[in-house]
A = this chain, B = another copy of it.
Amino acid sequence: MVKITDVARHAGVSPSTVSYALSGKRPISEETRRRVEDSARALGYRPHAGARALASSRSNVLALVVPLRTGIHVPVVMQFAVSVVTAARDHDVLLVTQEEGEEGLRRVADTALVDALIVMDVQLHDPRLPLLRTLDRPSVMIGFPLEAEGLTCIDLDFRAAGERCVEHLAQLGHRVVALVGSPPQVYVRGTAFAQRVVQGFTAAADRAGIASAVHPCGTTPAEARRVAERLLSEQPALTGVVVHNEAALEPLVDAFEELGLRVPGDLSVTAICPDRLASTLRVPVTSVALPSAEVGERAVELLMRKLGGEAVPEATLLPPTLTRRASTAPRTVDPR
């Protein structure tokens, strides 16, 4: 293994000069820098990560804590992970599963394996909050707990997303709408984003003076079909549906059509889901995108600023963007 002293000798300078020349942490004459860089390249020098971490108390590694639980759409997690890896230019990314729990966080943080953490899928009453507050490493959470005092959170503004969908339907003249939401257990464990969609959905419907109902929904086609039937029997005048459930979206639309309802002819459907999904369905669905990539980038950016000692806002809400596609249309005067 070639080490810094080897490079120093080869370049005819001291080890510290090599360190500074390569890190740029103090001014080095143009000529010396070139010599050092040439020597480093010639010898194939790679600083030892552990030694560097020990001496500088910086590992240049971030932890990414990913959820693996029911009701979480896997591609979203993956896309997010990729965007974090990509955005974290000079940091590597350590994958921590949520199953490792608080112990996992403590392990990577307290051993100084990582400099900072990104925590996905934060619950309203997340048991990890106290720990994240006392950890001596900065963190950014994807999602909002009930009490975020002293923490840093970022996410799509799900409340606004719910509102946006209803407003879109209301503008098209729909007067009776329903929300098909996440699986029941998602609400039970208090996932903030799911509840915020409900709030936004309901508030916007009330404000527009239109009738609304909320239905949790499982992730299998069979459950989607059951929900579709319940929807129509409970709200016979229904003409607008908001879907916040990636897995159920396609089977739901299928179920509607099997039940004799054309989309968007009889029923307008909007969703909150990745664009990729909404645009590839048989009937492309009007949707508010889950901006995984943007959330990832911004999360890393916030983390870097915190690592730099900068103060950052506790909450960052990304505004929703609704893209019109083929699944929504003005309400017909005589529906059914």
Contacts and interface: CB of A to CB of B under 8 A. Distances in A.
Interface of A: 1, 44, 46-54, 59, 61, 64, 68, 74-75, 77-79, 81-82, 85-86, 92-97, 99, 106-108, 110-113, 220-221, 280, 282
Nearest to A52: B50
Contact of A92 (B75, B99, B108): B108
Contacts of A53: 49-50, 53
A82 B72 CA distance: 14
B81 A95 contact: yes
B46 A49 contact: no
A50 B95 contact: no
14 contacts: A47-B111, A49-B112, A50-B113, A52-B111, A61-B94, A61-B113, A74-B74, A74-B79, A75-B75, A86-B97, A86-B99, A92-B95, A95-B95, A221-B282
Nearest to A45: B110
A78 B82 contact: no
A127 B53 CA distance: 31
A43 to B, nearest CB: 12
Given A61-B94, A94-B93, A221 B49 contact: no
Given A75-B74, A220-B280, A282-B221, A49 B113 contact: yes
A287 to B, nearest CB: 17
A113 to B, nearest CB: 4
Contact of A95 (B49, B79, B85, B99): B85
Given A49-B59, A74-B78, A75-B75, 5 more contacts: A46-B106, A46-B107, A50-B112, A85-B97, A93-B95
B50 A54 contact: yes
Contacts of A74: 74-75, 78-79
A125 to B, nearest CB: 25
Contacts of A108: 92
Contacts of A78: 74-75, 77-78
Nearest to A113: B49
Contacts of A61: 94, 113
Nearest to A48: B112
A108 B49 CA distance: 9
Given A113-B92, A280-B221, A59 B64 contact: no
A98 to B, nearest CB: 10
Contacts of A64: 95
